[in-house]
Chains A and B, each alone.
Chain A
Amino acid sequence: MIPQQANRLMNPLDQYQQHINRRHFFGRSATGIGTAALASLLQRDGFADDHEKTQAPTQRVGGLPSLPHFAPKAKKVIYLFQNGAPTHVDLFDWKPALKKRHSEPVPSSYIGDRRFSTMTGKADGKLLLAPVEPFAQHGKSGAWVSNFMPHTAKVSDDLCFVKSMHTEQVNHAPAINFNLSGGEMPGRPTLGAWLSYGLGSETDELPAFVVMTSITKNTSCGQIFYDFYWGSGFLPSRFQGVKFRGSGDPVLYVSNPDGISREVRRGWLDDIAAINELKLKEFGDPEIATRIAQYEMGFKMQSSIPELADFSDESQETLDLYGPDVKEPGTFAHNCLLARRLIERGSRYVQLMHAGWDQHNSLTTELYNQCRDTDQPSAALVMDLKRRGLLEDTLVIWGGEFGRTPFLQGDINNRPRWGRDHHPYAYTIWMAGGGTKPGISHGTTDDLGINVAENPVHVHDFQATLMHLMGIDHERLTYKFQGRQFRLTDVHGEVVKNILA
């Protein structure tokens, strides 16, 4: 007797789910072996047919076919992230009442049972501290800007200030994560990862998502830059930011080893490709075609990256615009100019991170240095983009992870050691270009700068707005991980319509 295989009673639900899987796994039949070659490399989800090798500036490499959801205002982003939390009441949020009530205790009605960092603990009895630098009004918009920021003041008619930002996190790493990824713990994709996943890039010779870090000279309060600030979280790791370095090669391993000339390398890359072609013919694995393209792109980057970092084609006038540090790799000024050059060449999202804003006890000593190193390059970037017509579709963002307490940390009689603690309840950022309204100020804080008074903008609202400017409905760009559809804004976020041009 022939043994009978047991009748496998299959749950119809299982069958259905298996069917879905099959469809998912076997359903890519439109993709031929040759055309699928660049799929995993160019993030094209299997549709590589429309790829022209010419390098037109609007060419799109990778991204989801369904994106953008609607016509974008901005196509690129430069995020000038100010790591450590700039003090809003000393820079942009002018509070005459704070000056008037200097050294008075904080009225308890302003603080309730609000939680501060363990350095402050309870805010009861803390003394109000006047802005440490005078403010003045600037431009047609009459924006109030502290004298610490003379260059930013000059471009204030191009800026859109948001003075009613607030967040949920009171310590740096969680707050920065929250700002950049929507979650306080590491593990979620950051803004740049979402954008390169969704929108791809406009170049295949440079990374879509680039990160550069810097720290002010003569400050003592720098925070570490963790790599999860530009991580891809659960998205494939090719979407994580490529960190350019402040010294040596801007990209690791981009230089040939000592003694190997470009000609020698070129010859061997051709030989490798020839042998890989043989393999492709014999084995039929489309991944081999990917490999050939991967090595070719690597070779291109070996010239495009040094070209990018070579400022010799910039006019002296442009260099002067960014200030005296512009030629020194690793400075904020240098990175600002690199950011413009990346955007010009097609990168999607450039994230500059500048540490040194954490003035717990150095408001009267180090804040000046901090502004000196960032003010001119930030303003120069806005001006430079504007005059090149790039500001129209490039969104520039300047801001940190929270604000600083309008009350004092330290001894009121010891001015050289004055400081301000972390303050998540209100802070200021500015944006420029990319479809934001220029010359406006959105949202207000109360008369002491402690709480948001009008038009609060939560971090998730800010993120939703950024996505909106890029032509993305933040509720519809999702990624399934661990059984859940994740998105940048979690289950929150509303686009701030008032700041849209």
Chain B
Amino acid sequence: MESELVRRLTSEDPDEVMPPPDSNRSLSADEIAMVQRWIDAGAAWQTHWAFRPLKLPPIPTAESLQPGQSTQPLRNPIDHFVRKNLMDRGLTASPEASRSTLIRRLSLDITGLPPTPEAVDEFLADESSDAYEKLVDRLLDSNAYGQRMAWNWLDASRYADTNGYQGDRERTMWPWRDWVVEAFNKNLPYDQFTTWQIAGDLLPEATLQQKLATGFSRNHMINGEGGRIAEENRVEYVMDMAETVGTVWLGLTLNCCRCHDHKYDPISNREYYQFFGFFNQTPVTGAGGDPQTAPNLAVPTSDQSETLASLAERIKQTEHEISVFNDSITDQQRLWETNELARLKQQTTWHAVRPVQATATGSKLSVLPDQSILTQGPAPDQDTYTILAKSPGEPTVNKITVKKITALRIDALRHESFPKNSLSFSDSGNFVLTEIEVRLVNKNDSDDGSTPTEPVRIVSAEATYEQGSHSVTNAFDGNRGTGWAVYEGRHVDRDHAAVFRFEKPLLIEKDQTLKVVLKHESVHKKHNLGHFLLSVTDLPDPKLGDDNQPLIAALETAPTSRTAEQKQLVVDRHRRSYPDFAKLTKQKNGLVKERDNLNRRLPKVMVMADMPKPRKTFVLERGLYNKPMDEVLSGFPQFLPNTTQHTPEDRLDRLTLARWLVDPANPLTARVTVNRFWQQVFGMGLVKTTEDFGTQGEVPLQMELLDWLAHSFQDNGWNVKQLMRTMVISHTYRQSSRIADEGVYQADPENRLLARASRHRLPAWMLRDQALAASGLLSPVSGGPSVNTYQPEGIWEEASFGKKKYSRDSGEKLYRRSLYTYWRRIIAPTMFFDNASRQTCTVKASRTNTPLHALQTLNNTAYVEAARILAERTLLEDRERNQQQKSQADEETDSARIDRVMKRVLARPASVRERSILLGGLKRTRQQFADDSEGALALLAVGESDHDKSINPSELASWTNLCLAILNLDESLNRE
């Protein structure tokens, strides 16, 4: 019977034939025949290669590799696999590259820096059989290794120093970057490297470092644009997290299945949202553009940690001393109170009246035990209080009775029932006292005390503070439109008081009461005194005096009746009476302030943390946040083995996800990871589509090699350094990159079979690091916040309408490794051409050659300055070597200098022909600058560093041009 497939492929009916005519795709007769043969042979079908379980493939034996086919050594299984494929296609391996090529290649691949001339000499002179292996180990052990490895990881995790989008606010994720460098340098096994970053916060008793690692997922962009819907943002962030993990660990592109099932995708639409569910549990709401949106983690530098620890210790010590001191004086407080009251009484002028009735037209007043009066909300816009009070003192605690009142004092007191513990219910905590009336009321007068006597005439007053034109005299000017107020430009945060002096003393009889009316009739709403104390005196011309009134009131109140504030006041004042205590308190306050200030300055890294109550996850129609459909639980895609023990009802968290990713039964993580490292070392992945291991990705030509590497990686405990070592130890890596002849090139132009070593342009960041290192400018400082190096003026300003100002750093910070360059997401550093944008996850950088790139390395200050310093260094070395040598250089000296420059950049001296070209160029340039000392000086002024004044400017300028040319040689731009 004819197969339906073949029938469709061969049909002449346009409605039947596949692919359909309008797809613009068709199968050739050969291809159709191949399908037919496949069907005839039984139509064997198997899972897509990348999803099959990972098995250790047999290593082609040395004997099977036709001895004599190639004389090149087989150094490890990589060579066996590669050689087998070469043999099958009639190709041969290339001989080993020269030692100088190898040390530069290794140094750049492993550390991102060129070898020093000393390292080159050492390696060239090392005749031991394992000289190469020793070099590899030295490089893997250097701090620069972690920095080199981190760059690609930062690209993958879309690390940047700002949010992106409108506003592009600055974040502090750099401690996470430092963690990445350290993790590579400490060779944290890749399974732990994975678990910490995906779910470090969920590990039992998670350490600061483990929590910090989860910053990986939070490196996504944040959109703070006005008008954005928070939930829409949030869903986007979660999708970004899920898709980044999909690309980095599984080599799968999940974004198609956001919206629908896709015929090519192994992950269904539903599974996408199950995967999304793992990341859907943080408390992030998506609102606002806070670049430190919680959950976050304050991560001190080691210096800051030490300072904090020392501060904590000193605070603890001081607190201990205070507590010892307290214990020693508590017994003496009662005695102190008695003495203190007596002492104050002798000094004092003012005595609190005893209110017997307090009413208000708008609110309710109550009298507190300390005789102060408190209003209760809700506050009316205006209010008038009427207080009837007895002369102070009788009959209990205080023996004093004032009989001849010369003045009234009002203390406006703060109270916690008012906003921000201020003086009133008003927005600012302020009040406006518009009028005050004081008079005596006879016992026989009516109960409401209406107009029994004339009010006393107030003639002068004094206040702690008068707000602008709201002076205290307004309170007795008979004008209800004016009043006394105390706002000092901030929410009122202190007590105030005023004294009102009478024209003549008011003589109060035993059966008389004092009636005080306080009016608040200003246009300012709710500006009514909230909490106040009325006091009187019999001294002539009394002053506001010191601030002891509240203390006296407290001491005059029985200890059990005191308010909490009064109790605290008494205790504080008692302690303050001891000078040693005051000293200790001051010391403690200073330390606490120092600690708080430091804590505020600590970088806060956004990290992962799940809410206690899980957020529900729904399939979203077409990926739209506001179109939820079926609810789903977090879970794994079906097409991969699931070894985690759980029932369908279990709620799985990120830790389960992390463990599933690194479970040996999961074939993708290891395959995808070794392929990415292979790409880093060999320039192209064994699977060229690093980001896509799905059915649309490339099927690797060297599948067995990939599987062998992946399986060995798992078997070796996910040891990254060992993997790197295995790759670079192989002969395949050590080959020359020379193309033997055109025939060989034609056979494999992309060098997928590795009959030679790959030769490719260095990434832009490494070019800069190479120039800095070769010149000696490179700063040894590593870690910490990002730095702003040379950039043409106005780049940030133009991109942000002047809102973001570029402030170039100076000194050593200009010469840090590129890894530490500040990455503004809306306008990335201009010098890193072809790099990932750091806006979304990127695991493969592009490598192109445009004229603009050439202009960068020829004209950018970074390269010009490095060339000048390299020139200067080369010229000064001569002087050190031979003091007698005249500065006038002869050709021999020049040749030696050229070799030294070449060696710093290319780890080798110039060839005869190169040298002759460079000498010619030098001669020509010397003539050009001979008459152009102005031009020479202008060139030497490029870059912040000074040039050595002892060198003839024209000579230095000529050499600077030569060095710049060497930095721009094709070989310098390439890793060969």
Contacts and interface: CB of A to CB of B under 8 A. Distances in A.
Interface of A: 2-3, 5-6, 8, 11-14, 16-18, 21-22, 25-26, 28-29, 31-33, 36, 40-41, 117-119, 170-173, 185-187, 207, 213, 215, 222-228, 231, 236-238, 242, 245-249, 251-261, 263-265, 267-268, 271-272, 274-276, 278-279, 282-288, 290-292, 294-295, 297-298, 300-302, 330, 355, 422, 476, 480, 482-484
Contact of B696 (A11, A118, A225, A480): A480
A422 B24 CA distance: 40
Contact of B227 (A251, A256, A302, A422): A422
A254 B913 CA distance: 31
Interface stretch (B411-419, B668-676, B744-752): B744-752
Nearest to A12: B38
B262 to A, nearest CB: 8
Contacts of A271: 917-918, 920-921, 965
Given A29-B746, A285-B759, A268 B839 contact: no
Nearest to B24: A476
| Nearest 7 interchain pairs by C-beta | A483-B696, A259-B939, A259-B938, A284-B739, A298-B854, A482-B253, A298-B851
B701 A18 contact: yes
Contact of A173 (B166, B264, B761, B968): B166
Interface in B671-703: 691-692, 694-699, 701, 703
27 contacts: A2-B64, A3-B61, A11-B49, A14-B49, A14-B703, A18-B699, A18-B701, A21-B699, A33-B745, A40-B848, A41-B849, A117-B227, A227-B826, A253-B855, A253-B860, A257-B861, A257-B939, A258-B942, A259-B934, A268-B961, A268-B964, A274-B917, A295-B851, A295-B968, A297-B854, A301-B852, A330-B798
A252 B795 CA distance: 10
Nearest to B846: A237
A222 B799 CA distance: 11
Contact of B837 (A231, A261, A288, A476): A231
Given A295-B968, A297-B851, A283 B737 contact: yes
A253 B852 contact: yes
A258 B853 contact: no
B793 A248 contact: yes
A298 B696 contact: no
Nearest to B942: A257
Given A118-B227, A259-B937, A238 B850 contact: yes
B699 A17 contact: yes
Interface majority SS on B: helix, strand, loop or mixed? loop
A245 B798 CA distance: 8
Contacts of B227: 117-119, 170-171, 422
Contacts of A119: 226-227
B969 A272 contact: yes
A224 B166 contact: yes
Contact of B794 (A25, A238, A248): A248
A298 B739 CA distance: 27
B256 interface: yes
Given A117-B227, A248-B792, A278-B914, A283 B855 contact: no
A482 B691 contact: yes
Given A258-B938, A278-B911, A298 B63 contact: no
Interface in B55-93: 57-58, 60-61, 63-64
Interface residues of B, number: 123
B701 A26 contact: no
B638 interface: no
B855 A254 contact: yes
Interface string B725-736: 000000000000
Contacts of B830: 252
B759 A287 contact: yes
A81 to B, nearest CB: 16
Contacts of B649: none
A5 B61 contact: yes
A258 B939 contact: yes
B173 interface: no
Interface of B: 24, 34, 38, 41, 44-46, 49, 57-58, 60-61, 63-64, 164-166, 168, 223, 225-229, 236, 253, 255-256, 262, 264-265, 691-692, 694-699, 701, 703-704, 737-742, 745-750, 752, 759-761, 792-795, 798-801, 826-828, 830, 833-834, 837, 839-840, 846, 848-856, 858-861, 864, 911, 913-914, 917-918, 920-921, 924-925, 928-929, 932, 934-942, 957, 961-962, 964-965, 968-971, 973-974, 976
A222 B60 CA distance: 65
A220 B835 CA distance: 34
Given A172-B225, A257-B942, A294-B849, A267 B925 contact: yes
Given A41-B849, A297-B851, A291 B917 contact: no
Contacts of B225: 171-173
Contacts of B859: 253-257
Given A33-B742, A238-B850, A225 B799 contact: yes
A213 B795 CA distance: 12
A260 B742 contact: no
Contact of A13 (B46, B265, B826, B837): B46
Given A13-B45, A223-B166, 4 more contacts: A14-B49, A224-B166, A252-B792, A258-B941
Nearest to B626: A115
Given A11-B46, A18-B699, A253 B848 contact: no
Given A119-B226, A187-B840, A258-B939, A294 B798 contact: no
Contacts of B57: 8
A348 B507 CA distance: 101
A215 B46 contact: no
A248 B761 CA distance: 29
B58 A294 contact: no
Contacts of A260: 935, 939, 961
Nearest to A261: B935
B848 A283 contact: no
Nearest to A295: B854
Contacts of B856: 252-253
A435 B107 CA distance: 57
Contacts of A173: 165-166, 223, 225
Contacts of B741: 284
Given A12-B41, A259-B937, A222 B264 contact: no
A126 B850 CA distance: 53
Nearest to A290: B849
Contacts of A330: 798
A279 B971 contact: yes
B34 to A, nearest CB: 7
A298 B255 CA distance: 38
Contacts of B745: 33, 284, 286
A170 to B, nearest CB: 8
B851 A294 contact: yes
Most chain A CB within a 10 A radius of its CB, from B64, B223, B236, B968: B968
Given A224-B799, A231-B837, A298 B759 contact: no
Contacts of B938: 258-259
Given A29-B746, A186-B839, A259 B921 contact: no
A32 B746 CA distance: 8
Contacts of A255: 859
B742 A483 contact: no
Given A11-B44, A25-B750, A41 B973 contact: no
B849 A40 contact: yes
B969 A5 contact: no
Most chain A CB within a 10 A radius of its CB, from B46, B699, B942: B699
A264 B961 contact: yes
A253 B792 contact: yes
A227 B63 contact: no
A171 to B, nearest CB: 6
Contacts of A272: 965, 968-969
A12 B424 CA distance: 86
A224 B850 contact: no
Nearest to B934: A259
